[in-house]
């Protein structure tokens, strides 16, 4: 059995190549066409002689709330993807609050509580993070739960201080499959001015705890963490390359559970998602969702193929 100091050492080694001080990543500006689902069900309690008028009034109200929702979403995306200025966390939180409120008003006007959770399926690229972008991965809030705020903060400060050039972080991406209950989180990492690079990949499973129109609560359980697509490994002879790539990922979820029971799991609050954008927060150690905010741009609707055309569901 792995003893406590050894476990800490292994986890720190996993952290070193993937954590850095990282200004909010700006995703490529690419708008997808969007159609907001509309309900055609209306209250049948209105008098029959005014049914046409009632229908028209509700239709106008629905159009108004749909327009407000689309406007709130676009304001958020425009702000976080504006390369001309640095994002203010306070302004992002204000825009997120406005988006969530607009979404709930729209749902109420449509008189529907239909779940839209299947819309999570697909690939998402991080457009904004209120903290280091790597911490959008479920591994990091779980690591913090296992070792506590004090210890994890000290480790993050050390790894964050590694200068650019020695270590750099690229895109952060997540791919969901709601039907299979799987989540793959990836962060591109390079070292020594890109002499070597890899994609640190954490594979997790999840179940939907609560859901409603354009929002859901997910119980996420971390499975494995492994560097993939390594340029160093690519330079090995095929025999050795195959052996290295066949090594299973480090069972980071089990290791975290060994440190502290329950720390291999985290709750993700998907406060908004639709065909184009997703906003989520993760539960902090105090059981609230005020910790960090992540805004994602959809890059693919596929459930088993990522935006680079490669399979992602091989655990």
- pLDDT attached to residue 241: 63
What is the rounded CA–CA span in Å between residue 106 and residue 45? 21
Residues 263, 226: Cα–Cα separation, whole Å: 19
Cα dihedral sign, 113-80-26-128: negative
Contact 225, 200 (CB under 8 A): yes
DSSP string, the chain: ---HHHHHHHHHHHHTTT----PPP-----PPP----------TTS-GGGHHHHHHHHHHHHHHHHHHHHHHHHHHHHHHT-TTSPPPHHHHHHHHHHHHHHHHHHHHHTT-----GGGG-EEEEEEEESS-GGGGSTHHHHHHHHHHHHHHHHHHHHHHTSPTTTEEEEEEEEEEETTTTEEEEEEEEEETTTTEEEEEEEEEEEEEEEEETTEEEEEEEEEEEEEES-HHHHTS-HHHHHHHHHSPPB-HHHHHHHHSTTTTEEEEEEEEE-SSEEEEEE--TTS-S-S--EEEEEEE--SSB-TTS-B----
Q: What's the average model confidence in pLDDT over 238-246?
A: 65
For all residues of the chain together, what is the average pLDDT? 76
Q: Which residue has the higher pLDDT, 128 or 152?
A: 128
pTM: 0.75
pLDDT in tens, 50-89: 555 564 555 555 578 889 999 999 999 999 998 888 899 9
Q: What pLDDT does residue 115 have?
A: 73
pLDDT at 173 over 90: yes
Res 8: pLDDT: 54
Query: Tell me, what's the pLDDT at 150?
Result: 87
pLDDT at position 99? 96
């Amino acid at each position: 059995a792995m003893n406590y100091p050894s476990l800490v050492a292994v986890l720190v080694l996993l952290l070193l190549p993937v954590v850095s001080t990282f200004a909010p990543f700006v995703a490529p500006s690419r708008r997808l066409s969007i159609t907001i689902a509309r309900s055609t069900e209306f209250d049948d309690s209105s008098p029959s002689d005014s049914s046409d008028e009632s229908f028209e009034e509700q239709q106008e109200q629905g159009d108004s709330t749909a327009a407000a929702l689309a406007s709130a979403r676009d304001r958020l995306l425009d702000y976080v993807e504006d390369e001309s200025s640095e994002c203010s966390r306070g302004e992002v939180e204000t825009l997120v609050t406005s988006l969530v409120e607009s979404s709930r008003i729209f749902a109420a006007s449509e008189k529907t509580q239909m779940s839209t959770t299947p819309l999570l399926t697909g690939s998402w690229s991080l457009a904004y993070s209120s903290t280091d972008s790597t911490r959008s991965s479920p591994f990091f809030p779980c690591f913090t739960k296992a070792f506590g705020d004090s210890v994890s903060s000290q480790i993050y400060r050390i790894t964050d201080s590694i200068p650019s050039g020695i270590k750099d972080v690229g895109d952060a991406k997540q791919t969901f499959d709601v039907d299979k209950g799987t989540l793959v989180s990836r962060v591109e990492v390079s070292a020594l001015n890109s002499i070597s690079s890899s994609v640190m990949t954490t594979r997790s499973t999840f179940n939907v705890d609560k859901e409603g129109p354009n929002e859901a609560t997910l119980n996420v359980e971390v499975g494995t963490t492994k560097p993939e697509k390594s340029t160093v490994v690519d330079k090995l002879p095929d025999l050795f390359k195959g052996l290295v790539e066949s090594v299973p990922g480090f069972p980071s979820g089990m290791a975290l559970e060994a440190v502290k029971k329950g720390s291999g799991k985290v709750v993700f609050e998907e406060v908004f998602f639709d065909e184009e954008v997703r906003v989520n927060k993760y539960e902090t150690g105090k059981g609230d969702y005020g910790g960090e905010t992540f805004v994602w741009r959809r890059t693919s609707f596929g459930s088993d193929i990522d935006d680079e055309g490669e399979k992602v569901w091989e655990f």
